[in-house]
Chain A
Amino acid sequence: MPPLPDHLGPTRDYIAGDGGLLITGLLEAADQALREGEGMRSCEIAIDTLDGLGSPQEVFAAAQGLPDAAGAEIAVRHASALTTFLGTCVTQDTVPAPDELTFTSTILRRRLDALE
C-alpha cells in the first residue's frame, strides 16, 4: 500500500464526517451486492442503499474528496467497480463475477483501517 500522508488529521476529520459516511456506505453497498444466495435481490438492496446515501455525483465526489490522495484513488476505484458490478447486474439480469469488487472492497477497507 502507498505510504500514509504525513498529516493524518484532515483525513481522519473527513472520515469522521459526512464524506466518511458516504465512503463507508460504498463498502456497505458492496457487501450487500456480494452477499451470496440472494441472486438479483442483492443488487437491488445495494442500489437502495446507494440511493439512500446520495446522488452518484455526491458519492463519487466524496470518494474523490478524501484528503489522503491514495485513499481517494482507492475509493474512486472501488466506486467504479461497484458501478460496473451493479450495472451488469441490472442490465443483464445476472450477478457478475465478484473478483474485482471483492478486491477493491478489501483494499479500501485496509486503507481506511490504516488511516484510523
Chain B
Amino acid sequence: MIWRLARRCSALLAGPVLLVLIYAQMSAALPAQAQPPERSIAWLTLGDSYGAGEGASGATGHCQRSLNAAGPKAATILSEEAGWTISPQTFAACTGAYAADIFSSRSELTRADYEIYGQAVGAYPEGAEIQNDESLYDWVGTEGSPSQRFDVIVTSFGGNDVGFADVVAGCTDIMRALVRAGGAVGGSVASPWTDFVTDVVTDRAADRIDEEGCGPVAQELEGRVAELLNEPRMPAAGDSPRRGSAGNLVDFYRTVADDLLAEDGVVVVLGYPRLTTPSETWGRWRGDRCNMLSGEDADRLGSAAEEFDRRLEDAIESIDARFEYVSRLVIFDDGGNYHSLCGRGVEWLNTPLLFLRDGTGRYQRGFHPNDLGYLATAEAVAGVVQDRLGVALQPPPSSDPQPTTTPAPVRSSEPHFDVGEEFDAECTIAWPTAPARGIDSIQMRTFCPSVPDQFLFVDVVYGDPDLDVSPSRATMRVRGTIVDVVRSEYGFTVLAVEAQEIDLR
C-alpha cells in the first residue's frame, strides 16, 4: 500500500516538506473511489469480542459492544467519507461468543453440558443484553426486524472456540512456574519461594517446554483450528430445529448467508491478529520478555496465529463468492511495520497490563484491539465492501481477466496518530515535569485529553525557548507533526510532536 510506504518513509526522514511531497504523490496514486450505491445498505455485525469491539472506547455492557468496533466503524467510514446511506444497522456481537452461540441459546448449551476443551459454557449474567433463551441468530431478529436481510454482514468467530486466551495465559513464564511449583517437583522444601523465583528467572520450566510448556499447547491450537473448521460445533444439537446448527463454523457461515444475506450482498469474515510482534523485532531493553511471554513462546504463539489465519482464510474463500476474508493478521503486520504488542511502532492491541503499560485504564480488555486497531480493520472492511457494492466510476478497460488484488482501504479522516501525521490538540504541561529550554527550542511533556489513552504523554518540541509557560499558564493548542512514537521502559507510550504553532490559553 502506498500510504503504508509513505508512512514508513516519513518515519525515517520525518521532514515536513518531504511529507507534503509524499502525501501529494500518495493521493494522486490512490485508485478512484466507487460511487455510493443508489439504495440504502442494510448492515449487520455479528460476532465475538473481536466483533463487538471489546478493548475499544465506548465498549459497554456484558457484551462490550462499541460503535468503534470494526463493523459499525466501517459503516461510519463509508457513510462519512464516501457518502453511503447505511440503514438499518444491527449489532449482534458479544464478548465470549462461541460458534455454537450463532444458532443455539445458552440455555440449550448449558442443558447439553456443552464444553470448550474442558471449560463449561455458562449462562449469560443477569442484565446481559442477550437473553439466555436466545441465540445470536434470534438476537439479530430482536435487535432489528425479524425478516430483515442484510447487504453487508461483518462477522468474526473462532477465537473463543480454540481457547486462545487460555493458551496465552498458560504460556507466560510465571504461570508456567506456578504450575510447576504446584507439582512440588524436587527442590528445597524449606523455601518454596527460593525455588519459585529461581525457576522463573532461569526459566527452567522452559527447558522442558516440549514436555509441559507452551510448545505443545501452541501445537494443539492447530488441531483445535481444524476441529473448528471441520467438525460439528454443537454435538448435542439434534434437539435444535435450526438447519446448520449441527455443523462446523463454515456450515454456520453458509447458513447465515442463506438466511440473512440479501441478493448480491457480501459476508466479510474477520480473522485474528498475532498478539505479539516477532521477538526478533523487540527492543533489547525488553530482555526477551513481552508481557510475561518469553520470546520463544511469543513466536510459537505467532506461528499458531499464522496457521489459524491461513486455515480460516482458506476455509472462508472456499465457501462461495458471497464471502470475503479480511486478515487482521496481515493488517496488523502492516508489511513488517508491526502493530501487535511489543513492536517499535504504534500498538493496535491493548496489553494485558493496560494501565501500567500504556495508561489506557481498560484493564480487563487486554489482548484485544484498541481504537486504532479497530479503525485500521474498519478501513480495510470498508474497502472490501466498497469494492463489492459500490458503483464503479468507469467500466473495466477490457474484458480480459484482471488479476485479483486486495481492495484499497477507505481511509478515515480521523487521526491515526502515526508518524508523519499532522497533530492538532489542546494539551497541558504535565507538571511537575518541568519544560526543558535549549538554545533554540523548548521541550514540554504534556497531557492531551483528545489523544487516545494509550499515549500517556505527548512530548512537544517547539522552536521558541522563551515560550511563556508556567504552572498557572500551561494549557495550549498544539499544531504540528508527529515525528516519533516512544515507549518508556516502564511500558507507557509517548507521542513526540514537532510543533509548528502553539497558542497559549
Q: Would B201 and A77 count as touching, CB distance under 8 A?
A: no
Question: Contact partner of B361 among A2, A57, A104, CB < 8 A?
Answer: A2
**Docked complex Cα distance between A8 and B292 (Å):** 30
**How many A-B pairs fall under 8 Å by CB?**
75
Interface residue? A23 (CB, 8 A): no
Residue of A nearest to B289 (CB): A84
Question: Contact partner of B197 among A48, A69, A87, A100, CB < 8 A?
Answer: A87
Q: Would B356 and A107 count as touching, CB distance under 8 A?
A: yes
Interface residue? B353 (CB, 8 A): yes
CB-defined contacts of B361 to chain A, threshold 8 Å:
1-3, 70
Tell which of B153-161, B187-195, B312-320, B443-451 binds the partner: B187-195
Smallest CB separation, A84 vs chain B (Å): 6
Q: Would B198 and A90 count as touching, CB distance under 8 A?
A: yes
Contact with A along B276-293 (1 / 0, CB 8 A): 000000000000000010
Question: Which residues 72-116 of A have a CB within 8 angstroms of B?
Answer: 73-74, 77, 80, 83-84, 86-91, 99-100, 103-104, 107
Smallest CB separation, A112 vs chain B (Å): 15
Q: Would B193 and A88 count as touching, CB distance under 8 A?
A: no
CB-defined contacts of A83 to chain B, threshold 8 Å:
174, 196-197, 200
Smallest CB separation, A52 vs chain B (Å): 10
Residue of A nearest to B190 (CB): A51
**Docked complex Cα distance between A70 and B360 (Å):** 12
Q: Would A84 and B490 count as touching, CB distance under 8 A?
A: no
| A-side interface size class | 20 to 34
Question: Contact partner of A84 among B200, B364, B489, CB < 8 A?
Answer: B200
**Docked complex Cα distance between A11 and B89 (Å):** 40
Q: Would A91 and B353 count as touching, CB distance under 8 A?
A: no
Contact with A along B184-220 (1 / 0, CB 8 A): 0000001111101111111000000000000000000
Q: Would B182 and A57 count as touching, CB distance under 8 A?
A: yes
Interface residue? B431 (CB, 8 A): no
CB-defined contacts of A86 to chain B, threshold 8 Å:
193, 197
Interface residue? A22 (CB, 8 A): no
Q: Would B356 and A74 count as touching, CB distance under 8 A?
A: yes
Q: Would B201 and A56 count as touching, CB distance under 8 A?
A: no
Smallest CB separation, A22 vs chain B (Å): 13
**Docked complex Cα distance between A55 and B197 (Å):** 12
Smallest CB separation, B324 vs chain A (Å): 37
CB-defined contacts of B182 to chain A, threshold 8 Å:
57
Residue of A nearest to B182 (CB): A57
Q: Would A91 and B202 count as touching, CB distance under 8 A?
A: yes
Q: Known interface pairs A2-B355, A56-B192. Does A87 touch B181 (Cβ–Cβ under 8 Å)?
A: no
CB-defined contacts of B356 to chain A, threshold 8 Å:
73-74, 77, 104, 107
CB-defined contacts of B198 to chain A, threshold 8 Å:
87, 90-91
Q: Would A80 and B363 count as touching, CB distance under 8 A?
A: no
Interface residue? B229 (CB, 8 A): no
**Docked complex Cα distance between A91 and B200 (Å):** 10
Q: Would A87 and B355 count as touching, CB distance under 8 A?
A: no
Question: Which residues 367-391 of B have a CB within 8 angstroms of A?
Answer: none
Q: Would B363 and A69 count as touching, CB distance under 8 A?
A: yes
Q: Known interface pairs A73-B353, A80-B292. Does A91 touch B201 (Cβ–Cβ under 8 Å)?
A: yes
Q: Would A90 and B194 count as touching, CB distance under 8 A?
A: yes
Question: Contact partner of B201 among A1, A47, A84, CB < 8 A?
Answer: A84
Interface residue? A21 (CB, 8 A): no
Q: Would B355 and A70 count as touching, CB distance under 8 A?
A: yes
Interface residue? B178 (CB, 8 A): yes
Q: Would A55 and B181 count as touching, CB distance under 8 A?
A: yes
Q: Would A2 and B181 count as touching, CB distance under 8 A?
A: no
Q: Would B178 and A47 count as touching, CB distance under 8 A?
A: no
Smallest CB separation, B392 vs chain A (Å): 48
Residue of A nearest to B179 (CB): A57
Q: Known interface pairs A84-B201, A88-B201. Does A56 touch B196 (Cβ–Cβ under 8 Å)?
A: yes
CB-defined contacts of A87 to chain B, threshold 8 Å:
197-202
Residue of B nearest to A49 (CB): B193
CB-defined contacts of B174 to chain A, threshold 8 Å:
60, 80, 83
Q: Would B197 and A51 count as touching, CB distance under 8 A?
A: no
Smallest CB separation, B495 vs chain A (Å): 21
Contact with B along A37-61 (1 / 0, CB 8 A): 0000000000110110001110010
Smallest CB separation, A13 vs chain B (Å): 21
Q: Would A47 and B193 count as touching, CB distance under 8 A?
A: yes
Residue of A nearest to B203 (CB): A87
**Docked complex Cα distance between A110 and B202 (Å):** 31
Most-contacted residue by chain A among B192, B193, B292 (CB, 10 A): B193
Residue of B nearest to A50 (CB): B193
**Docked complex Cα distance between A87 and B174 (Å):** 11
Smallest CB separation, A42 vs chain B (Å): 14
**Docked complex Cα distance between A55 and B193 (Å):** 7
CB-defined contacts of A107 to chain B, threshold 8 Å:
356
Question: Which residues 284-340 of B have a CB within 8 angstroms of A?
Answer: 292
> Nearest 8 pairs between A and B by C-beta?
A87-B201, A87-B197, A56-B196, A86-B197, A50-B193, A2-B361, A70-B363, A73-B363
Q: List residues of A whose CB falls within 8 A of some B CB.
A: 1-3, 47-48, 50-51, 55-57, 60, 69-70, 73-74, 77, 80, 83-84, 86-91, 99-100, 103-104, 107
- 4 A-B pairs besides A73-B355, A87-B202 with CB distance below 8 A are A47-B193, A50-B193, A83-B174, A84-B200
